[in-house]
Each structure stands twice: as structure tokens, then as C-alpha cells.
């Protein structure tokens, strides 16, 4: 039986950092309130810097703005939803200072983005904006590529809800091969090439960043479901999952098979979608998984931590729509220290009290 330990990612990486000095300049030079200390974590895969953001927190939008401001030559954006005025303005400002900025935004969400309608109109005038429409599913990605090397991705839409209310994550990685993968996905969607038949092949589906193995999948063209199920089948100790939507039968079968092998299954579900008629919540409970409904406003993570060594994350919910019809992206990262950090977030979400309690714990100034 493996030792069950939980350590802070930052603390774990501090040990790694002793072996060699930090040699990169971080683009995220902003102050983080001590209350939100674990909402921005920094580390390395080998010599390559990695940044990890967790929400809801002010850090999400700060990190997003800093990422946009870090671009010096090119910035390609592909996001399902955006309504933050400061972010839309930052994209315009980047283009004004000479960065080649190209933005792909879901057409239906753009039509409802009333808070940034002026900024979107200006983007159209400048030729920066493409509106995506996947007729068979959703253009559900949330990624950016800066300067052909730095990739931002995760579950985080560029919205007020995702910044301030929803449980979310974003990761920033530096690697040219990974950036090439995401550039190809950006090109595909900007050209309206939705679906398996029209997609471009992923240039580097398997790669390493500083010795850390990474599998990069895009739906629906890649076998993302198969890649995730294959990782779950390797579990010998624990499968911990945070899911906004979990309806996929193959992944449900993988949990069942794991339980039969003696693997512990911990599943945290969004309280709204867990009660949907198509959800497999009851089935998971009956097979012996530890299941809980998130007390938060919305659990928007799409994360699996396997044996505290491998992390599955990205934009894709664990559903047939995500795997077979939507435009999505997923990373499978084998990095124990990062897995520990993600597990800490799972524990926070599992143990969290309902968010409405926070309001009533807010101190009121004397005399009010």
C-alpha cells in the first residue's frame, strides 16, 4: 500500500529548486493576498516553469491579465465564454502595442456578452475576432498561446462567474511542441473545421516537458475517452475526481473495475448536474464509490488525480458530448508533486462549507 501523504506543491517544489537556481523571469509579478496564498502556485518541470491558478479567487483574473500582458509578439486566444471588461480591454491593448492578437470566441456566448459588447465590436473592426459555431456540439475550449511557446489552458472561462464564484483551474506551461499542438487546434477552429472528418492531426500527442511525460488530446478527433480510461485502468490505489458533468459510461465502468481491484474511488460532483436525469450519481454510489455533491456555487473542475501521481485536466467534461462532439482539450500529466497540489484542491472542495455561509461570517464595522 502506498503511503497516503499530502504535501503542498510549493513546498515540494522548493525541495526541487534546491538542486538548481531559478533562472526564469516570471510573467506573473503581482501580489497575492495571503488569504489566497494557494491560488497561485509556481514550480518547474525540469528547467521549464509551470504556473497553476485556482479559483474562485481574485488571482484568476489577475493571472489572466498578466498572461495577456506578457505576450510580446503573438497571442492566440480560443475561449468558450468571455465577459470580463478588463480582459477584453487587455486584448485590445496588446494589439495596440504591436502584438499580433487573434481571438476565437463562441458565437452564441459572444451575442450575450453585453458587458464587453463595445470591446468585441472594436475587435471586429480591427480584424482580431472570429466567432466559432460548432453545429454538432460546443466550441468549449479555454486556451491561449503566447509567443509560440507559452500555453494557458484549463477549465476557466474568462467570465465573472468563473473568476469569483466557480471552482476552477488554469495551468501555464512553456514548451514549443505543446504550443504547436494548441496552435493547430486554434487554426482548425478559426477555419470552422469542426468534427473528426475536418480536423487536423495533433502534431505532438505525446511529449515531455523537463522530463515530465504529458499526453495532449483534442476532441473529437483524438481518442480522449480512451486515453483517460487507460490511465484509470492503471490505478492501484486511488482515483479522485472532480467533475462538473459526469455521464460517460466508459469512465463509469473504469471506476467500477478499479473498485473491484481494491482501488478507492472518490468522486466530487457539481450539486446541480449531479441530479440531472442523465447523471450516473446513483450508479456510482451503489457500486461503492465515495460520492459527494459540492457545496459551492458551481464545481467547474474537470479533473482526475490517479494514485497521487497522474493528473487529468482541461476543458472537457466527462460526457459523451465532450468526447464525441465538442471542441475540447485535455492534458494528462505524470507529475507527483503537481498531483499532490491538485489533490489539495480536491480536499478543499470536498470539505468546503456552503458558500452562502461566508457572507454571514463577514465582520460588520462597529456602528453600522
Q: What are the catalytic residues?
A: 300, 302, 307
Tally DSSP H helices, then E strands, for the chain.
13, 17
| CA dihedral of 13, 15, 16, 19, whole degrees rounded to 10 | 150
CB 135 within 8 A of CB 162: no
CB 157 within 8 A of CB 64: no
Lookup: cell for 27 = 510573467
CA distance 52 to 335: 13
Q: Cα 204 vs. chain centroid, distance in angstroms?
A: 20
Q: Are strands 129-132 and 150-154 parallel, antiparallel or unpaired?
A: unpaired
Cα angle, residue 38 at apex, residues 299 and 25 outer, rounded to 5°: 120
139 Cβ contact partners less than 8 Å away, ≥ 6 residues apart: 78, 80, 104, 106, 132, 133, 189, 194, 326, 327
Classify residue 213 by burial, with Cβ atoms within 10 Å: 0-12, 13-18, 19+: middle
* Cβ neighbours, 10 Å, residue 25: 8
Amino acid at each position: 500500500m502506498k503511503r497516503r501523504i499530502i504535501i503542498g506543491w510549493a513546498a515540494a517544489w522548493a525541495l526541487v529548486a534546491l538542486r538548481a537556481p531559478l533562472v526564469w523571469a516570471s510573467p506573473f509579478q503581482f501580489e497575492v493576498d495571503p488569504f489566497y496564498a494557494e491560488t497561485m502556485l509556481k514550480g518547474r518541470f525540469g528547467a521549464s516553469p509551470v504556473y497553476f491558478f485556482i479559483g474562485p479567487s481574485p488571482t484568476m483574473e489577475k493571472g489572466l491579465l498578466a498572461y495577456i500582458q506578457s505576450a510580446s509578439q503573438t497571442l492566440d486566444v480560443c475561449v468558450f465564454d468571455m465577459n470580463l471588461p478588463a480582459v477584453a480591454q487587455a486584448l485590445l491593448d496588446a494589439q495596440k502595442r504591436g502584438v499580433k492578437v487573434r481571438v476565437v470566441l463562441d458565437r452564441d456566448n459572444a451575442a450575450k456578452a453585453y458587458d464587453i459588447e463595445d470591446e468585441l465590436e472594436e475587435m471586429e473592426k480591427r480584424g482580431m475576432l472570429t466567432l466559432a459555431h460548432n453545429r454538432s456540439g460546443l466550441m468549449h475550449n479555454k486556451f491561449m498561446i503566447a509567443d509560440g511557446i507559452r500555453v494557458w489552458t484549463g477549465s476557466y472561462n474568462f467570465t465573472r462567474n468563473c473568476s469569483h464564484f466557480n471552482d476552477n483551474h488554469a495551468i501555464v506551461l512553456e514548451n514549443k511542441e505543446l504550443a504547436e499542438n494548441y496552435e493547430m487546434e486554434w487554426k482548425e477552429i478559426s477555419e470552422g473545421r469542426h468534427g473528426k472528418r475536418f480536423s487536423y492531426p495533433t502534431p505532438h500527442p505525446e511529449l515531455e516537458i523537463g522530463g515530465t511525460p504529458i499526453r495532449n488530446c483534442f476532441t473529437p478527433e483524438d481518442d480522449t475517452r480512451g486515453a483517460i480510461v487507460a490511465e484509470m485502468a492503471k490505478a492501484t490505489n486511488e482515483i479522485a475526481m472532480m467533475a462538473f458533468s459526469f455521464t460517460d459510461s466508459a469512465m463509469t465502468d473504469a471506476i467500477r473495475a478499479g473498485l473491484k481491484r481494491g482501488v478507492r474511488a472518490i468522486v466530487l460532483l457539481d450539486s446541480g448536474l449531479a441530479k440531472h436525469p442523465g447523471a450516473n450519481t446513483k450508479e456510482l454510489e451503489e457500486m461503492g464509490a465515495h460520492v459527494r455533491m459540492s457545496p459551492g456555487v458551481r464545481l467547474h473542475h474537470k479533473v482526475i488525480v490517479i494514485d497521487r501521481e497522474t493528473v487529468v485536466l482541461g476543458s472537457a467534461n466527462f460526457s459523451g458530448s465532450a468526447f464525441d462532439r465538442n471542441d475540447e482539450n485535455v492534458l494528462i500529466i505524470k507529475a507527483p508533486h503537481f498531483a499532490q497540489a491538485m489533490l489539495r484542491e480536491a480536499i478543499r472542495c470536498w470539505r468546503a462549507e456552503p458558500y452562502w455561509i461566508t457572507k454571514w461570517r463577514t465582520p460588520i464595522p462597529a456602528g453600522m
